[in-house]
Amino acid sequence: MDPRILILTNMGPKASAPFQGQFVRTQMQALSALLPVQYFYMSWHSDSRINRLLKYPVLFLQFVWRFVLSRQKLDLLHVHFFYPTIYLAIVYKVLRNPKVKIMVTCHGSDIYYYEPFSALYRWCSRWVDQWVYSSRPLKARAWQAPDDAPVIAAGIDATFAQTEFLSREQKDIDLLYVGSLDQNKGMDRLIRLLPALAGYRLALVGKGPYQSRLEQAIQAYPNVQLLGPKNSDELKALYQRSRCFLSLSRNESFGLVMTEAMACYTPVIATQTDGSLQQLADRPEWIVPQQDEARLDAVLLEKIQQLLSLSASNYQALQQVGRAQAMPAVVSQVALQVQQLYLRLLQDND
């Protein structure tokens, strides 16, 4: 009999973030080509006050109805985003199947937002059979980080691996940003930088709480395009056209958009986060420290000017190094690693 595996997450798309949680869905789809899996996510999701108050109670009731009260037992629960999603897995183990295995992939906010870790957070950790972390620096910050707990990226869509190489001269966008338009992603920093970037062509992709402020700010800068959310094919085209990808995040556990950009032969400049420390470890000169906010703008501008004025051969070498770094994160490769973890856990149940 095939193992019964459920992938569950507290992430899900909403009107203001239509691609939120897409990386979990992408991994699930790749895994479903290898073995049967089910998927449960936060389907009732919006920015309304009532949703913010009730979305977790609704998620809990939906989970209980569909899985705890189901006649079919699950063998393995794979939780994406440890806290508070882990409560669903604990309830299932206590009320439905004490033998179920619990695997958790930590992505960042499920660790960053809960430091210092409460007694309840630590108690929940004891129920986990297998930990996975999206980056090595994130693992170092976790409450529980067994030595054998692997570091595995969520995975980028195979679309980004099927990319035509373009030289810097063939690209027509100087700086590209992709992601949520919010404070953590550094949109206040970007607004501050706009006057100094007036000589560059910028494309901003995404949606979020800073959208209206950005729309107002860029009215004086015809060199800036605010493009809204894009699907994978549209993103691939934008990555290919861009000479530099810019990440201004305050916290980033991995940063799949950086991986997508590098897979499309686009070099990255990033503020220092767990994700940039891992992905740009062999190119630390393109990481900008965050300790001194007053100096941040000047250092970012210096790095942008430096990268865009590299010799053609040095720029091409940077493209190739980034491409090689990104390839192991293609979701088909990631799914094979996750499948091996599933099989090992399920063998322990035999």
The DSSP output letter for 208 is S
Residues of the chain with CATH 3.40.50.2000: 5-155+330-347, 158-327
Tokens for 42, please give them: 């936060």
| pLDDT score for 350 | 58
Q: What are phi and psi of 208, to 5 degrees?
A: 165, -175
Residue among 43, 47, 71, 46 at smallest CA distance from 59: 43
Q: What are phi and psi of 243, to 5 degrees?
A: -85, -25
* CATH number assigned to the domain with residue range 158-327, chosen from the 4 options 3.40.50.2000, 3.40.50.2300, 3.30.565.10, 3.90.1150.110: 3.40.50.2000
Phi-psi region of 21 (alpha: psi -120 to 50; beta: other; left: phi over 0): left
Q: Is the domain defined by 5-155+330-347 classed in CATH 3.40.50.2000?
A: yes
Asked if 42 and 20 touch (Cβ cutoff 8 Å), the reply is: no
Tokens for 276, please give them: 């940039």
| pLDDT score for 349 | 65
| pLDDT score for 154 | 85
For 7-17, b/e burial (b = at least 16 CB within 10 A) is: bbbbbbbbebb
In whole angstroms, give the CA distance from residue 34 to residue 36. 7
| pLDDT score for 44 | 86
| pLDDT score for 19 | 77
Asked if 146 and 139 touch (Cβ cutoff 8 Å), the reply is: no
From the first residue on, what is the mean pLDDT of each consecutive set of 10 residues in the chain (350 residues)? 91 83 91 95 91 93 96 96 97 97 94 94 97 93 90 92 95 97 96 96 95 96 95 96 97 93 98 94 94 94 97 97 94 96 85
